[in-house]
Structure 1
Amino acid sequence: MRARDLAEPYPFVTTDDDALVAARMFVEKSLPALLVLDADGQPHAIVPGSQVLRQTLPAYVVDDPLLASALQGRADREIVERLEGITVAEWLPRRLFPPPYVGPDALLMEVAALMARTHSPLIAVIEREAGKVRLLGTVTAARLMNSFLTGPPSGPAVPGPSG
């Protein structure tokens, strides 16, 4: 099996999209990560849910949980205010790692190794044609694990070393 066999459509936003709209999509679709494409349709970032949350919270909430509990209502309002009127590019962490992606012919073990190495809950599957990048879909950790647990499709048996 190859990456293209497990790739499925996944909601995405672009760097120019409204941050509040992106956050609402993330919540409404219960996504494990936010997939962000650049203006050319190339993966720009895959931001795991924990980091989406971190970028949304005021710094004092992350730094001092006791203070955060005392200011519950104010922090909730501040979250929405922080997202209003900015783009996804302005909202994202300043230090981004290149998003993990593979070509359509990548083996599933390659996808799994990349996912484990990058701590990403999904891997983008892209195809390059005539200098353009096209997103074919993504492979999520759950879909990948399911393929390992259910086994490969049945086919001819491969003879072992003893023949």
Structure 2
Amino acid sequence: MALRKALPEDQNRVKGIVTMLRAMDLVESVPWADHDDLVLPWLHRVVEDNLPGLMVIDHGGKSHAVGYTELMWLLLPGYLHGQPLLASACGEALSEQLAGPLAELRIADLVPKVTGETAWVPATASVVEIVEVMTRHHSDLVATFDRDGVAGVVSSHRLLRNVMAEVTPAVRD
């Protein structure tokens, strides 16, 4: 399929469609994990059900959207966090042992990684608002709230897929 430069009328059509997208159009349901739950069953569920992540409720009742990056953080021993040279030196010897400690970890072990302000948007948030929150928080998941509470999450994958579905036809023959 040959690509061509988008014409101004194509760009206006795309802008109109993309600007109509709201968080409520992109929201995905994810399971809720309790602070004291074991991690391993949740990891299996997230992977097997192809979910973008899960929501975690901490002891203070605060909710956190937890994506794959935070889940993978659990695979590394603590002494390797933020230590790329040491991780490189460990190499394959440690790779076989990565999942070992997961059987004992609880969801609470995720919360120290998911500190600070929760990445969230209202259900009426525009694509631009969602992207701003994702980039500011370095988060692939953003919790979405409506008047009834948490509606789910918007994942960067779903956001890009929907935006690109509208943009791509504008630049193809």
Q: Higher relative contact order by CA 8 Å / sep ≥ 6: 1 or 2?
A: 2
Aligned CA RMSD, in angstroms, stands at 3.0
* Match in the other structure for 1:143: 158
Unpaired segments ≥5 residues, structure 2: 1-19, 168-173
Q: Which amino acid aligns with 1:13?
A: A
TM-score normalised to structure 2 length: 0.64
Matched residue count: 142
In the alignment, structure 1 residue 19 sits paired with structure 2 residue 50? no
Alpha-carbon distance change, 16 to 60 in structure 1, aligned in 2, over 3 angstroms = closer
Instruction: Give, in angstroms, the shift of residue 107 of structure 1.
Output: 1.7
Give the stretch that moved more between structures: 26-35 or 12-21.
26-35
* Selected match of 2:110 from 70, 75, 92: 92
Instruction: Give, in angstroms, the shift of residue 29 of structure 1.
Output: 3.2
Instruction: Give, in angstroms, the shift of residue 110 of structure 1.
Output: 0.6
The percent of aligned pairs where both chains have the same amino acid is 28
TM-score normalised to structure 1 length: 0.67
* Selected match of 2:93 from 70, 80, 91: 70
Q: Distance in 1 between matches of 2:166 and 2:90?
A: 49
Q: Distance in 1 between matches of 2:111 and 2:74?
A: 7
Larger helix proportion of the pair: 2
Instruction: Give, in angstroms, the shift of residue 71 of structure 1.
Output: 4.5
Instruction: Give, in angstroms, the shift of residue 13 of structure 1.
Output: 1.9
Instruction: Give, in angstroms, the shift of residue 101 of structure 1.
Output: 0.9
Q: Is the 8 A contact 2:66 2:141 kept in 1?
A: no
